[in-house]
């Protein structure tokens, strides 16, 4: 039931992507930054950071429009990618983009205004046929990378949004703020490895379960490991426990 509900929500988010695309756009945020303007996408990135503080990376499994594409591509290639290598690529891309964004604001002399609907005057991101090129390029990129690299390959390698969620998650850990995690009753684990196979983020769930908590920021809190576990070892909890 939980997975059906989750997939329904992300499918709706995916269907709405032609409307919401600009609010996740790295291009729109830079277009605003060079004029010193806070755009809708910058506001959404800030909301993602705040959400990371309380809900970790659950945005990735309950809100993000790309989640549906990732799950479809998993049916074609369900191998675990080289997460470490892809994460390095992701943070390199993010570093370049974020530097350009900050430089834009500095060169513009700081924040001069707000324009949440920048380049989205009709409340719809894809409001003319030419914009479908960007729309299909984004979808194509995420789908092809996920099929080519393995489970959530695009999320690990190119996502420019997840660092905001990770930053929120790390702030929460640092300040010891209770936040959503997967915890375990390790005494019940029978080491069947089902959770490892089911995890879309290629996390060694069993190892973490034996420590009592999933501590990595790669966990997107999808709950698949909870649902597949035959011994009810795993569960959601709001906790400030870090290890
Ligand atoms: S990693 Fe990025 S693209 Fe993937 S689900 Fe999370 S926010 Fe969406
Ligand atoms: S550890 Fe569990 S909740 Fe976290 S991403 Fe993997 S399956 Fe989902
Ligand atoms: S599915 Fe449950 S019992 Fe099996 S290894 Fe994972 S936590 Fe342990």
Picking from 138, 169, 200, the residue at the C-terminal end of a domain is 169
Q: Identify which ligand lies nearest to the alpha carbon of 186.
A: 3
pTM of the predicted model over 0.75: yes
Question: Same structural domain for residues 6 and 124?
Answer: yes
* Ligand 2 site-directed mutation target among 184, 205, 228, 234, most atoms within 8 Å of CB: 205
In sequence order, the β-bridge partners of residue 180 are 238
> Measured in angstroms, how far is the CA atom of residue 179 from the centroid of ligand 2?
15
Question: Same structural domain for residues 12 and 46?
Answer: yes
Question: Same structural domain for residues 126 and 204?
Answer: no
Q: Are 58 and 220 in contact (CB under 8 A)?
A: yes
Question: Same structural domain for residues 147 and 191?
Answer: no
| Lowest-confidence pick of 5-14, 17-26, 119-128 | 119-128
Q: Are 141 and 69 in contact (CB under 8 A)?
A: no
Tokens 């930054």 label which residue?
Answer: 33
- Other C-beta atoms closer than 10 Å to the C-beta of 234 total 27
Backbone dihedral angles phi then psi of residue 214, each to the nearest 5 degrees: -85, 110
Question: Same structural domain for residues 62 and 137?
Answer: yes
Question: Same structural domain for residues 95 and 155?
Answer: yes
**Whether the predicted pLDDT of 240 surpasses 90:** no
- Which residues, at least 6 apart from 238, have a Cβ–Cβ distance to it below 8 Å? 178, 179, 180, 181
- Which residues, at least 6 apart from 113, have a Cβ–Cβ distance to it below 8 Å? 36, 37, 38
Average pLDDT, integer, range 209-218: 90
| Total domains in the fold of the chain | 2
CATH number at residue 216: 3.30.70.20
Question: Same structural domain for residues 27 and 70?
Answer: yes
User: 101: closest CA among 26, 21, 20, 46?
Assistant: 26
**Whether the predicted pLDDT of 30 surpasses 70:** yes
Average pLDDT, integer, range 201-217: 92
Question: Same structural domain for residues 157 and 210?
Answer: no
Tokens 């390698």 label which residue?
Answer: 157
Picking from 122, 137, 169, the residue at the C-terminal end of a domain is 169
- Which residues, at least 6 apart from 16, have a Cβ–Cβ distance to it below 8 Å? 65
Question: Same structural domain for residues 135 and 185?
Answer: no
Average pLDDT, integer, range 136-164: 96
Q: Identify which ligand lies nearest to the alpha carbon of 153.
A: 1
Question: Same structural domain for residues 165 and 226?
Answer: no
User: 125: closest CA among 21, 12, 13?
Assistant: 21
Residue 98: domain span: 2-169
Average pLDDT, the chain: 94
Cα 87–Cα 58–Cα 196 angle in degrees, nearest 5: 65
Picking from 169, 189, 216, the residue at the C-terminal end of a domain is 169
Average pLDDT, integer, range 170-198: 94
Residue minimizing CA distance to atom 3 of ligand 3 = 189
Average pLDDT, integer, range 16-24: 96
Check residue 179 and report its DSSP letter.
E
**Whether the predicted pLDDT of 130 surpasses 90:** no
Q: Are 220 and 151 in contact (CB under 8 A)?
A: no
Per-residue b or e along 164-198, where b marks 16 or more CB atoms closer than 10 Å to that residue's CB: bbbbbbeebbeeeeebbbbbbeeeebeeeebbbee
Whole-number pLDDT of residue 243: 66
Question: Same structural domain for residues 99 and 150?
Answer: yes
76 lines ligand 3 (CB under 6 A): no
State which of 6-10, 119-123, 237-241 shows the largest mean pLDDT.
Answer: 6-10
Whole-number pLDDT of residue 16: 96
Question: Same structural domain for residues 56 and 144?
Answer: yes
């Amino acid at each position: 039931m939980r997975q059906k509900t989750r997939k329904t929500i992300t499918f709706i988010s995916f269907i709405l992507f032609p409307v919401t695309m600009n609010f996740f756009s790295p291009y729109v945020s830079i277009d605003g930054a060079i004029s010193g303007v806070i755009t809708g996408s910058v506001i959404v990135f800030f909301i993602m950071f705040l959400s990371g503080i309380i809900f970790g990376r659950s945005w990735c499994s309950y809100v993000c429009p790309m989640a549906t594409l990732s799950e479809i591509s998993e049916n074609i290639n369900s191998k675990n990618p080289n997460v470490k290598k892809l994460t390095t690529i992701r943070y390199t891309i993010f570093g370049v983009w974020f530097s350009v964004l900050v430089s834009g604001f500095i060169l513009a002399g700081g924040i001069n205004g707000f324009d949440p609907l920048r380049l989205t005057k009709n409340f719809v991101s894809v409001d003319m046929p030419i914009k479908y090129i960007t729309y299909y390029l984004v979808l194509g990129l995420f789908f092809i990378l996920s099929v080519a690299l393995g489970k959530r390959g695009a999320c690990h390698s190119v996502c420019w949004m997840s660092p905001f969620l990770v930053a929120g998650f790390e702030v929460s850990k640092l300040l010891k703020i209770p936040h959503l995690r997967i915890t375990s009753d390790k005494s019940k684990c029978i080491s069947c490895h089902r959770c490892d196979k089911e995890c879309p983020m290629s996390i060694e769930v069993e190892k973490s379960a034996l420590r009592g908590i999933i501590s990595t920021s790669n966990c997107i809190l999808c709950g698949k490991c909870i649902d597949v576990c035959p011994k009810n070892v795993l569960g959601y909890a709001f906790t400030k426990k870090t290890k």
